Amino acid sequence: MTAPAFAGITGDELAGKVVMVTGASRGIGRTLALGLAAAGARVGLAARSADGLAETAAAIETAGGSCLAVTLDVTDHAAVAGAFARVAERFGGFDALVNNAGAEQVCASLDVDEAIWDRIVDTNLKAPFFCAQAAARLMLERSPANADAGCAGSIVNIGSVASMLGIPTAVPYCASKHGVLGLTRALAAEWAPLGLRVNAIGPGYFRTAMTDAFYEAPGWQAAMLPKIPAGRFGRLDDLAGAAVFLCGDGARYINGQILYVDGGLTGAL
């Protein structure tokens, strides 16, 4: 595969920065990794799929970028710190984390069992906390606390419009994404004096392997599209600019916020 062009990204927004992306083997994570690399970042790539990571890495390197792929299950908390440390050692630092790895399963709430609940909530909420913790430790090792600049490091959690809304047949997912917003705000409040920023991106409806079940449900697209003021569903490259901005020093006074990238969906409800 080849790396796409990203509107508004010139190639030097993140020059010299090291950014880790979890869930980088496909979908949103892959696109964010490509966009961050296009902005000049050296990118750490983490996911469970070695083959998918290899495709992402090849696209970045073909476009002239620099990356390191590490196979990682983010729910294996003991392995997270080691994987992140490998990236910091390879590139000589650790500036930002994009906490993207996620799970979803469309299921009527009366049919949700403990296994479904645990898989989704552990991946979407518990794992992002421990990934953020590991990243923060690396950032603070390299950068002294700099509360005035807010530039010791940046963590960007991937939330969802489900961080605000209730979505039928997605109860564990909604619970986890509401939790991501609370996690974002609490860590931002605690870590701001250390110079660390913690924000979130809330994607609207983007078609990926994880969201196919919605798009394929009879009548869903026809019912949902009129609710989006932009008049279309999201394209994956629509998300890259938000990640580049929040990872960069231009967002140094933005902390504890969620940026919805949803074509106006949440603003119009």
The predicted structure's pLDDT at residue 42:
98
Give residue 137's identity as a one-letter amino acid code. R
pLDDT of residue 146 exceeding 60: no
The predicted structure's pLDDT at residue 143:
61
CB 163 within 8 A of CB 203: no
CB 104 within 8 A of CB 148: no
pLDDT per residue as tens digits for the range 247-259: 999 999 999 999 9
Q: What percent of the chain has pLDDT over 90?
A: 87
What average pLDDT does range 158-177 have in this prediction? 96
pLDDT per residue as tens digits for the range 4-52: 678 889 889 999 999 999 999 999 999 999 999 999 999 999 999 999 9
What average pLDDT does range 214-228 have in this prediction? 92
Domains present along the chain, CATH in parentheses? 18-268 (3.40.50.720)
Selected residue with higher pLDDT from 213 and 177: 177
Tell me the three state secondary structure of residue 15: coil
The predicted structure's pLDDT at residue 144:
55
Q: How confident is the model at residue 214 (pLDDT cuts 50, 70, 90)?
A: confident
Average pLDDT over the chain reads: 94
pLDDT of residue 147 exceeding 80: no
**DSSP symbols for 185-250:** HHHHHHHGGGTEEEEEEEE--B--TTTHHHHHSTTHHHHHGGG-TTSSPBPGGGGHHHHHHHHSGG
pLDDT of residue 150 exceeding 90: no
The predicted structure's pLDDT at residue 170:
95
Pairing of strands 18-22, 42-47: parallel
Measured between alpha carbons, how far is 252 from 183 in angstroms, rounded to an integer?
19
pLDDT of residue 145 exceeding 60: no
- Out of 173, 205, 215, 253, the active site residue is 173
- The three-state (H, E, C) secondary structure of 108-124, written as one string: CHHHCCHHHHHHHHHHH
* Sequence-distant (≥ 6) Cβ neighbours of residue 248 within 8 angstroms: 13, 14, 17, 39, 154
List Cα–Cα distances, 188 to 75, 87, 197, 247, in angstroms: 22, 24, 6, 14
φ and ψ at residue 6, rounded to 5 degrees: -120, 120
pLDDT per residue as tens digits for the range 120-132: 999 999 999 999 9
The predicted structure's pLDDT at residue 2:
57
The predicted structure's pLDDT at residue 213:
83
The predicted structure's pLDDT at residue 151:
74
* Sequence-distant (≥ 6) Cβ neighbours of residue 258 within 8 angstroms: 159, 163, 181, 184, 199, 200, 201, 202
What average pLDDT does range 213-238 have in this prediction? 93
CB 35 within 8 A of CB 237: yes
Range from 11-20, 141-150, 235-244 carrying the lowest mean pLDDT:
141-150
For residue 173, indicate whether it is catalytic. Answer: yes
